[in-house]
C-alpha cells in the first residue's frame, strides 16, 4: 500500500459558497471523505498547511510548501498538494526549482468546481494525482483533467473549462486512458540533473516584474523599475522577440537596466514555440543590450526561475548562467547550448 502525504493549501477544491462567493473552508480530512473507497487503497496522511485562495499564495507560501515537502518526503512514496488553479502553475514552477534532485512524485492538483458540488472535477483530479504516484513519476507535476504535466511546463489556459491546464512546448508526462496511465518517456532532464542528490534550495527574491510589451509602450516605465529597486525583469516581447525603437526608443532604457545590474529575460508573448532573438534586427538589438534569451520557457517558469536565481546569487552573470541551464525540464536547449 502506497504511503501518501496530502498537503492542503485551500483553493476551489476546498471551497464552499458563502454570501461573498466561494471561500476555501473544507478541511483536508473532508476532502479525503469524498474519495470514498479509493482513499482506503492508500495510506494517506493529511497536513493542513494553508487555507487560501491561490491568488494570495506568494513567495512566503512557496517557501512554506517547499519546506514541508522537504521535511516529509523521505517518509512517503509521494506527496499531493491541493491548490487553487489560478496560481498553481507558478507554484509548480517554483517548487520545480526549489526541490532539486527530487526522486519521488510531488503532484499539485485542484479543481474548477468545489469537491462538494455534484459536477465537480475534484475527485477525478485527485485520482489522477494518486495514479501519478502509483506510476512513480519523478519530480514536481500538475495532475488535471486526466493528464500529468511537468510542473514547469504547466500553464492555465481556461478560466472555466475542465481542460484548464496545458503542457506548453513539452509533451505531458502521462495521460489517463480507459486502460490506465500511459507514461511518456522523459528526455528533458540532463543526466547530471538526474543523478544529483535531493536538496532544498528555497532562497528566493520576489523583486521581479513581468512586463508585457504593447505597441507604444512608454520608455519611462523602465525608469520606474530602478526607482522601485527591482532586481529582475521578465519581458514578454512580440513574436520571436521584438519591441519598438522608432519614436519611442525602448532599447536605450533597456540597456540602462542591464548596466545597473538588473537581470532581464526576454520571452515571447506567443504561448507556443520558442523565441529567437537572433532572427531579426530588433532581436539582435535586444541581445546587444545584454538581455537573457528565454527561449521556450513559459512565462510562469521564467518569472519563478528569475526569483529563484536571484535568491541564489546577486551577480548578474551568475543569473545568466542559471538561465542557460536546464534544471527541471523548463527549457529546451540545443546540443551546443546544453
Which tens digit of pLDDT belongs to each residue from 13-38? 999 888 888 878 788 888 999 999 99
Q: How many domains does the chain have?
A: 2
pLDDT tens per residue, range 237-247: 999 999 999 99
Least confident range from 26-30, 51-55, 129-133, 231-235: namely 26-30
Do 196 and 262 belong to one domain? no
| Any domain includes 333 | no
- The per-residue pLDDT for 338 is 47
Residues 175-219: pLDDT tens digits?
Answer: 999 999 999 877 777 777 778 899 999 999 999 999 999 999 999
Boundary of a domain, candidates 144, 179, 200: 200
Assess whether 212 and 188 both reside in one domain.
no
Instruction: Let me know whether 114 and 60 are in one domain.
Output: yes
CATH number at residue 120: 3.40.50.1170
Domain final position from 200, 221, 243 = 200
Helix, strand, coil shares, percent, the chain, to 5: 35, 25, 40
The answer on 232 and 189 residing in a single domain is no
Determine the pLDDT at residue 335.
55
Q: What is the pLDDT of residue 199?
A: 96
What mean pLDDT comes out for the span 277-302?
Answer: 96
User: What CATH number did the domain enclosing 244 receive?
Assistant: 3.40.50.40
Q: Which of 17-31, 132-146, 206-220, 311-325 is predicted with the least confidence, judged by mean pLDDT? A: 17-31
Q: Are residues 161 and 40 in the same domain?
A: yes
| CB-based contacts of 334, cutoff 8 Å, min separation 6 | none
User: What rounded mean pLDDT belongs to the chain?
Assistant: 94
Is 238 within the bounds of a domain?
yes
Q: Which residue has the higher pLDDT, 334 or 263?
A: 263
Residue 222 shares a structural domain with residue 180? no
How many H helices and E strands in the chain? 10, 18
Do 21 and 115 belong together in one domain?
yes
Nearest 5°: the CA angle 184, 66, 143 is: 30
Shared-domain flag, residues 171 and 299: no
Torsions phi, psi of 334, nearest 5?
-70, 155
Bridge-based pairing of strands 165-167 and 99-100 is: unpaired
12 given a catalytic annotation? yes
9: containing domain: 3-200
Kindly state the cell numbers that stand for 103. 526522486
Same domain, 149 and 245: no
320: left (phi over 0), alpha (psi -120 to 50) or beta: alpha
**133 and 27, same structural domain?**
yes
Domain boundary among 147, 169, 200: 200
Which of these is catalytic: 12, 128, 298, 304?
Answer: 12
Whether residue 46 is found in the same domain as residue 117: yes
Average pLDDT over residues 159-175: 97
Amino acid at each position: 500500500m502506497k504511503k501518501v502525504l496530502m498537503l492542503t493549501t485551500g483553493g476551489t477544491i476546498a471551497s464552499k459558497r458563502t454570501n461573498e462567493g466561494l471561500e476555501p473552508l473544507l478541511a483536508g480530512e473532508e476532502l479525503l471523505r469524498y474519495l470514498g473507497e479509493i482513499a482506503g487503497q492508500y495510506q494517506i496522511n493529511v497536513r493542513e498547511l494553508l487555507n487560501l485562495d491561490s491568488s494570495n499564495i506568494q513567495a512566503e507560501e512557496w517557501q512554506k510548501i517547499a519546506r514541508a515537502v522537504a521535511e516529509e518526503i523521505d517518509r512517503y512514496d509521494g506527496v499531493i498538494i491541493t491548490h487553487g488553479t489560478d496560481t498553481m502553475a507558478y507554484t509548480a514552477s517554483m517548487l520545480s526549482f526549489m526541490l532539486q534532485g527530487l526522486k519521488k512524485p510531488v503532484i499539485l492538483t485542484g479543481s474548477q468546481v468545489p469537491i462538494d458540488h455534484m459536477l465537480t472535477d475534484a475527485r477525478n483530479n485527485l485520482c489522477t494525482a494518486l495514479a501519478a504516484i502509483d506510476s512513480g513519476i519523478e519530480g514536481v507535476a500538475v495532475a488535471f483533467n486526466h493528464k500529468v504535466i511537468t510542473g514547469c511546463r504547466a500553464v492555465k489556459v481556461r478560466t472555466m473549462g475542465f481542460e484548464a491546464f496545458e503542457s506548453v512546448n513539452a509533451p505531458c508526462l502521462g495521460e489517463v486512458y480507459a486502460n490506465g496511465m500511459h507514461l511518456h518517456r522523459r528526455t528533458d532532464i540532463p543526466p547530471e540533473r538526474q543523478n544529483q542528490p535531493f536538496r532544498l534550495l528555497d532562497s528566493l527574491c520576489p523583486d521581479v516584474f513581468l512586463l508585457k510589451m504593447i505597441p507604444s509602450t512608454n520608455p519611462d516605465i523602465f525608469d520606474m523599475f530602478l526607482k522601485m529597486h527591482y532586481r529582475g525583469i521578465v519581458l514578454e516581447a512580440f513574436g520571436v522577440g521584438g519591441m519598438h525603437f522608432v519614436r519611442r526608443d525602448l532599447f536605450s532604457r533597456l540597456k540602462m537596466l542591464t548596466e545597473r545590474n538588473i537581470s532581464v529575460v526576454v520571452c515571447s508573448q506567443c504561448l507556443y514555440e520558442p523565441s529567437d532573438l537572433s532572427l531579426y534586427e530588433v532581436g539582435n538589438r535586444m541581445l546587444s543590450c545584454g538581455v537573457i534569451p528565454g527561449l521556450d520557457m513559459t512565462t510562469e517558469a521564467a518569472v519563478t526561475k528569475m526569483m529563484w536565481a536571484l535568491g541564489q546569487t546577486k551577480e548578474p552573470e551568475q543569473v545568466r548562467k542559471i538561465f542557460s541551464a536546464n534544471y527541471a525540464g523548463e527549457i529546451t536547449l540545443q546540443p551546443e547550448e546544453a
